[in-house]
A and B are shown apart, each in its own frame.
Chain A
Amino acid sequence: MRKTYVAVVLLALVAIVGDHLTSPSSGRAVSPEDFAGACAPCGAPCPSKK
Chain B
Amino acid sequence: MSTATVSVPASSAAPQIDYLFLGAAVAATAILVALVLLDGQPASAALILGGFALGIAFLKAEFSYTASWRRFLTRGEAGGLIGGLIVIAICALAIVPVAALLPGFGGAIAPLGPSLVVGAFVFGIGMQLANGCGSGTLYTVGGGSGRMLITLAFFVIGSVFGSLSLPSFLALGGVDPVLASDYLGPWGGLLATLASIAAAAAVMAAVAKKCGANFMPSRSYIIGGIVIGLLCIGVFFAGGHPWSVTFGYTVWGGKIFAALGFDFSQAEFWQWPGPKRALTGSVLSDTSSLTDFGMIFGAMAAAAATKRYAATAWPPLKSLLAAAIGGLLCGWGARIGFGCNIGAFIGGVASGSLHGWIWFLAALPGCMIGIRLRPLFGMSRE
Contact residues in A for B35 (Cβ distance below 8 Å): 17, 20
- Asked if B32 contacts A16 (CB within 8 A), the reply is yes
**Is B73 in the interface zone, CB < 8 Å from A?**
no
Q: When A26-B282, A43-B272 are in contact, do A48 and B310 touch as well, CB less than 8 Å?
A: no
CA distance A28 to B331 in the complex (A): 27
Complex interface bits, B18-55 against A, C-beta within 8 A gives 1, otherwise 0:
00110010001001100110010101100100000000
| Residues 3-30 of A contacting B (Cβ, < 8 Å) | 4-6, 8-9, 13, 16-17, 19-20, 23-30
Question: A23 with B113: in contact, given A40-B338, A47-B175 (CB under 8 Å)?
Answer: no
Query: In the complex, are the beta carbons of A5 and B144 less than 8 A apart?
Result: yes
A17 / chain B contacts, CB cutoff of 8 Å: 31, 35
Nearest Cβ distance between residue A23 and chain B, in whole angstroms?
A: 4
Cβ proximity bits B331-347 to A, threshold 8 Å, 1 near / 0 not: 00001001100011001
The answer to whether B273 touches A32, judged by C-beta atoms less than 8 angstroms apart, is yes
- In the complex, the answer to whether A40 meets B110 with C-beta atoms within 8 Å is yes
Question: Which secondary structure dominates chain B's binding surface?
Answer: helix
CB pair B250 A42 closer than 8 Å: yes
**How many residues does chain B have at the interface if contact means C-beta atoms less than 8 Å apart?**
69
Please tell me if the beta carbons of A33 and B144 are within 8 angstroms of each other in the complex: no
Contacts of B366 in A (CB 8 A): none
Contact B146 A1 (CB under 8 A): yes
Q: How far is the CA of A44 from the CA of B351 in the complex (A)?
A: 18
Q: Residues of B contacting A34 with CB < 8 Å?
A: 106, 240-241, 274
* Residues of chain B from 202 to 236 with CB closer than 8 A to chain A in the complex: none
Is B380 in the interface zone, CB < 8 Å from A? Answer: no
- Which of A9, A23, A24, A30 is close to B287, meaning CB atoms less than 8 Å apart? A30
- A46 engages B285 (CB within 8 Å): no
By a CB distance below 8 angstroms, the chain A residues around B273 are: 32, 35-38, 43
Closest to B290 in A: A29
Minimal beta-carbon separation of A42 from chain B (angstroms): 5
Instruction: For B310, give its contact among A5, A24, A32 (CB under 8 Å).
Output: A5
Are A31 and B39 closer than 8 Å at their CB atoms? no
Residues from chain A with a CB closer than 8 A to the CB of B24 are: 6, 9
Q: Considering the chains assembled together, what is the distance between the CA atoms of A48 and B113 in angstroms?
A: 12
From B244, B282, B313, B335, A31 is in contact (CB under 8 Å) with B244
Told that A27-B285, A46-B177 touch, could you supply 13 new A-B pairs with CB distance under 8 A?
A: A26-B281, A27-B39, A28-B44, A29-B239, A32-B273, A32-B277, A35-B273, A35-B277, A37-B273, A41-B244, A41-B247, A41-B339, A41-B343
Please name 18 pairs of A and B residues whose Cβ atoms are closer than 8 Å in the assembled complex, sorted by A. Answer: A2-B310, A16-B32, A23-B283, A24-B280, A27-B39, A27-B41, A29-B47, A29-B239, A30-B287, A31-B244, A32-B275, A37-B273, A38-B273, A42-B247, A42-B339, A44-B111, A44-B166, A44-B269
On A, residues with C-beta under 8 Å from B are 1-2, 4-6, 8-9, 13, 16-17, 19-20, 23-48, 50
Top 6 closest pairs, chain A to chain B, by CB: A32-B274, A43-B274, A23-B282, A35-B273, A26-B281, A26-B285
